[in-house]
Amino acid sequence: MIQLHIATVITKALDNKNYQVEDVLDLLETPKHPHLGDVAFPCFTLAKYVKKSPASIASELKDKLHDSWIDRVEVKGGYLNLFVKREIASSHILKDVLNAKEGYGSMPAKNERIVIDYSSPNIAKPFSMGHLRSTVIGNSLAKISEKNGYQVVRVNHLGDWGTQFGKLIVAYKLWGSRKLVEQEPIKQLLELYVHFHAEAKKNDTLNNQARAAFKALEDGDHEALDLWKWFKEESLKEFKEVYDLLDISFDYELGEAFYNDKMKAVVSELESKKLLTLSEGAYVVELDSMPPCLITKKDGATLYATRDLAAAIYRQQTFYASKAFYVVGNEQSLHFQQLFSVLKQMGYEWADHMQHIGFGMMLKDGSKMSTRQGKVVLLAEVLVEAIQLAKETMRGKHETQEDLETVAKQVGVGAVIFHDLKNLRTHDVEFSLDHMMSFEGDTGPYVQYTFARISTLLKKGNYDYAPGHPLQFTDDYEWQVISLIDQFPRVVEQAFEQADPSQVAKYSLQLARAFNKYYAHTKILVDDEDKLSSKLSFCYAVSIVLKESLSLLGIQAPVKM
């Protein structure tokens, strides 16, 4: 709000057709140190248009800036440093938050739809910590997109097809036990998968058998289909338990197998548009500046690219999306470059609005987790352990066991999610349960505890918000918090523009730290009725923004911890 107001004032003073409010807003900066002002306007870009030095422009502008929000203006070289009247700005910002509540920072609704493909675990493999990143990044981006006014379609593109099923079918026939699989389906299927790869290193014929088994599956072999359906049913049961813990749901859960009957049409279309090239017995699409995209193998079997082409076309014809996000690891970057390029060659202009949202790996002891090698940390086990640790930390602080169970789940699961999302999306993340569960430092429990602390204050002060509550500005500690609250709408916008939830996570930490500094230096529960009401209104505004920040990350905000 502050920067938008200042940008409007400066634009009016400039009276230059080359500069609209949005242009000035993009140039505004926040000085690194408070003594340099609240907002800075660099005049260097403007100098190109008016043919004057930045310092001269700044000096001339200074005399034209008259507004009730502006306390004083200083010229530093080619910068205009503006100091706002904190009482006025604070009152406007807090009223904006208190009136909007959870709507604060929301953009107007757009008549545009975004399809977000995320999570996408593989059937017959455990839901590991390695799958966490796509799941929580995608879920957060869906919420951030909605906050920015978009309609969102959440898609879980299950990995329920491919050569891995040939491997699993062979492994089950050679070494499997139906009784053991029924007792511990995912554990047994994982062991069979790992055992297959260990044996295949010594006996390469196993890989040929796996390819043949998958081809049989594609051709509709009854035995292969029955095993595949069984593997899938058992996997989905476990996946649902994990999604329920994370409080994540999807609009569509369509696996790769859904597109089996749609791939022939894609291959035919590529052929009719003369895009297919025969290369060593396989069919490919030649691409500029990158390797060719493989469409079918020598034996006629399809590949990931074939299915992803079919899926992209189906989704566009079904949802008419203006954007499509694929939340998949960085290692798949080339695949998506090829996918988008082939779609463009096919004449689909909407391919320009498709985006691969890559992310770094989840590491354990500095190394990538690998299902093939059995080096995997199960997400469900981590979530259960995190909840138990939260329960032990908070034991005795809740009136009933039910309250303890509820809050422990909110804190434990929230800690795991926050630990992932606080990192820049493209960076690798080191798995550390001890660090993520800390109630201090840059963790989810720290932000949640700050919200709970404010909730306790509001309860002790018998606070019940009503429009018109007095708002009295107090000190620099309060101003630091209010300045951050004012930045929230822009943070939400930038998080969407950069497809990076860490912007919101880092912001929530900043806001929590600023409030706790204020809390340490300020007595809130005072006897004076007006001052008490003003302080509690301020606290309530902070709680609104903290809760909404956590919500955008897919994390709940407990009122007591």
Q: What is the pLDDT of residues 8-59, one digit of tens each?
A: 999 999 887 778 999 999 999 999 888 899 999 999 988 887 788 999 999 9
Q: Give the single-character DSSP code of 41.
A: E
Structure confidence at residue 373 (pLDDT): 53
455 pLDDT more than 90: yes
Which range among 241-255, 299-313, 417-431 shows the weakest confidence by mean pLDDT?
Answer: 299-313
Count CB-CB contacts under 10 A for residue 298: 9
Using a 10 angstrom Cβ sphere, with 0-12 exposed, 13-18 middle and 19 or more buried, the burial of residue 68 is exposed
What is the average pLDDT value for the chain, to the nearest integer?
92
What is the CB-side half-sphere exposure of residue 133 using CA atoms within 13 A? 25
Distance CA 482, CA 410 (A): 27
Structure confidence at residue 370 (pLDDT): 56
291 pLDDT more than 90: yes
pLDDT tens track for 220-274: 999 999 999 999 988 888 899 899 999 999 999 999 999 989 999 999 999 999 9
Delineate the domains of the chain, giving CATH numbers in brackets.
2-84 (3.30.1360.70), 118-368 (3.40.50.620), 379-552 (1.10.730.10)
Distance CA 78, CA 188 (A): 68
Structure confidence at residue 128 (pLDDT): 82
pLDDT tens track for 142-170: 999 999 999 999 999 999 988 889 999 99
Please tell me whether residue 420 adopts helix, strand or coil conformation. helix
Percent of the chain with pLDDT over 70: 97
Q: Give the single-character DSSP code of 308.
A: H
- Two tokens at 16? 């230059």
Region of residue 220 (phi > 0: left; psi between -120 and 50: alpha; otherwise: beta): left
Closest CA to 238 of 374, 134, 140, 384: 384
Structure confidence at residue 86 (pLDDT): 94
